[in-house]
A and B are shown apart, each in its own frame.
Chain A
Amino acid sequence: MRQKFILLALLIAAVMFSWNLYRIFLVLPDDAEQGAIYRVLFFHVPALWAGMLAFFVAFVGSIGYLVKKELHYDYLSVANVEVGLVFSIIGTVMGMIWARPVWGIWWTWDARLTSMFICILLYLAYILLRRAISEPRQRAQFCAIFSIFAFVDIPIVWYSIRWWRTQHPQPIVGEPGAIDPAMKSVLYTNLIPMVCLVAALVAIRMYQEETQFTLDRLRRRVNAAE
């Protein structure tokens, strides 16, 4: 069942990415102001949205663990945090590469970029915290609490460009006329394969957490027998 889900998600991702890459490079024209470099947007934005979605699922999983005390919620949380972190870093680095020719700088400490930087540091701390605690239930409890705390930063990242005047471009979601309809269509449809890719990676990572748990249990049995 899990394997079928992973294969299906990867297949959808491969087909849609191929179709979208064709549209991005061969159908859509250059942007009137930015030229060709605006094409970074089609992967930068979906990567960051998919990352934030993964952090949200991790947040829900953390609450689930604290309520039900079942380790499956912890596996869901850690898998989503790890994959979300990878996509957030990818999205941020892509944004930096876009910024160099457009702004003339790689990085600036404006509200959006700073809150995103803090977000990456928080979830890196989550990964480090997991490695510091060996007892599974204690680790799950501390990490669930930390994940809920870390998620507080996500709405700040999301709304930072609305709350403060930033160097980062203003929001394009739900803003009529902010982006050409053809470009908007590619941007939104690229979110689907990105989410499929995240879901497949999360499923693989969850399976590994379950295997690790089995491994630890077997190790305790071996130690007890010796």
Chain B
Amino acid sequence: MDQTQFVFLFWAYFVCWLGVLLYVGSLVMRERSLRQQLSQLREQLRDNDDL
């Protein structure tokens, strides 16, 4: 395998999986933030109902 072609091939596959990983990472962070906001709001609602 030609060295230059191998370098380009490596970066192409790296970009492919890096892109997917970054997007999955953004989904995980968004999920965490949503859950946090949801539990905070539920607590607030419970407090309001208690009052």
Contacts and interface: CB of A to CB of B under 8 A. Distances in A.
Interface residues of A, number: 34
A120 to B, nearest CB: 13
Given A30-B1, A226-B48, A97 B41 contact: no
Contacts of A112: none
Given A36-B1, A222-B44, A225-B48, A214 B38 contact: yes
Interface string A73-109: 0000000000100100110011001101100000000
Interface string B1-39: 110111011011101100110011001001100110110
A211 B27 CA distance: 13
Contacts, number: 79
Contacts of B15: 90, 93-94, 97
Nearest to A30: B1
Residues of A contacting B: mostly: helix
A221 B6 contact: no
A212 interface: yes
Given A36-B6, A89-B19, A98 B45 contact: no
Given A30-B1, A47-B16, 10 more contacts: A36-B5, A36-B9, A40-B8, A40-B9, A40-B13, A83-B23, A93-B19, A94-B16, A218-B38, A222-B41
Interface of A: 30, 35-37, 39-40, 43-44, 47, 83, 86, 89-90, 93-94, 97-98, 100-101, 197, 201, 204-205, 208, 211-212, 214-215, 218-219, 221-222, 225-226
